[in-house]
Amino acid sequence: MRYLLIEDNEKLAGAIVERLVLEGHVVDHAAQISMAHEFAALADYDLILLDIMLPDGDGRTFLNHQREKQDDTPVIVLTARSEVSDRVSVLDLGADDYITKPFDFSELEARCRAVLRRRRGDGTNTKRIGDVTFDPMSGLLRVGQTEVSLRNKEMRLIEIFLNAPDIIFAKSKLVDRLFSYDEDVSENAIEVYVGRLRKHLNGSNVQITTVRGMGYRLSVQ
């Protein structure tokens, strides 16, 4: 998953980024609203973590802007305000959830998973297609009776495909979803990770096929 973190407290932001990266996510960090707008214009995010009190304004203006332009990217607000009226205001503006500072990182991760499940209409974290099952919590891919422990980038790539079966993903789109701006990678890296996933899926009725000139598609054969 690719996250946008909008938080001006460098220590807190660093801790959040470190924790999410360890979970295998890609995280872009903006310390100001102006920077957040630039990031949001350049990339598609699976989830936005939004602080309210920022150096160049109120984070709610960013949230309102996103919703006014019909951007429905899930947003979790990080707030030090515990008053009910403050929480209600961000939810009314279109936030999907909020968490009050200080918070435990495990709770933040759980809220992220819950918001993403609700957006997908999933009741559990486990994803199934054909005879393949994937648990993003453990990183285990089950093909028939065989279990494989995936590496971080493999985990995120299979998750992208499983969330949108039969959809064609261009290499450039996958690079955007798997790597942050400060990672200098080429589209050849996608070929490597797709190759690894194909080996893991060998023997199943689920395949990642190449659509010439367009990209890759995961489907049940």
Half-sphere exposure at residue 183, Cβ-oriented, CA atoms within 13 angstroms = 14
Two structure tokens written together for 168 = 């064609």
Question: Can you list the domains of the chain with their CATH numbers?
Answer: 2-120 (3.40.50.2300), 127-220 (1.10.10.10)
What pLDDT was estimated at residue 108? 93
Count Cα neighbours of 206 within 13 Å in the Cβ-side half-sphere: 22
Angle between helix 84-93 and helix 59-68 axes, rounded to 10 deg: 30
Q: Order of strands across the sheet with 127-129?
A: 127-129, 132-135, 140-143, 146-149
Q: Which two tokens stand for residue 130?
A: 């054909």
Would you say 191 and 172 are in contact if contact means Cβ atoms under 8 Å apart?
no
Please give the Cα distance from 90 to 4 (Å, whole number).
18
The whole-model pTM stands at: 0.73
Residue-wise DSSP of 132-153 = EEEETTTTEEEETTEEEEPPHH
- Residue 99 · residue 52 · CB < 8 Å: no
Question: Is the separation of the CB atoms in 52 and 87 below 8 Å?
Answer: no
Query: What's residue 144's pLDDT?
Result: 83
What pLDDT was estimated at residue 124? 63
Burial tier of 205 (Cβ tally within 10 Å: 0-12, 13-18, 19+): middle
Cα atoms in the Cβ-side hemisphere of radius 13 Å centred on 69: 10
List of long-range contacts for 38-41, beta carbons under 8 Å, 24+ apart = 39/4, 40/4, 40/66, 40/71, 40/73
| pLDDT at site 122 | 65
Per-residue model confidence (pLDDT) at position 38:
95
pLDDT on residue 32 = 97
Render each residue's pLDDT in the chain as its tens digit; 221 residues: 899 999 999 999 999 999 998 888 899 999 999 999 999 999 889 999 999 999 999 999 999 999 999 999 999 999 887 678 888 889 999 999 999 999 999 899 989 988 988 877 765 678 889 999 998 878 899 998 889 999 888 998 998 999 889 999 999 989 988 888 777 788 889 999 999 999 999 999 999 999 999 999 999 98
The reported pLDDT for the residue numbered 31 is 97
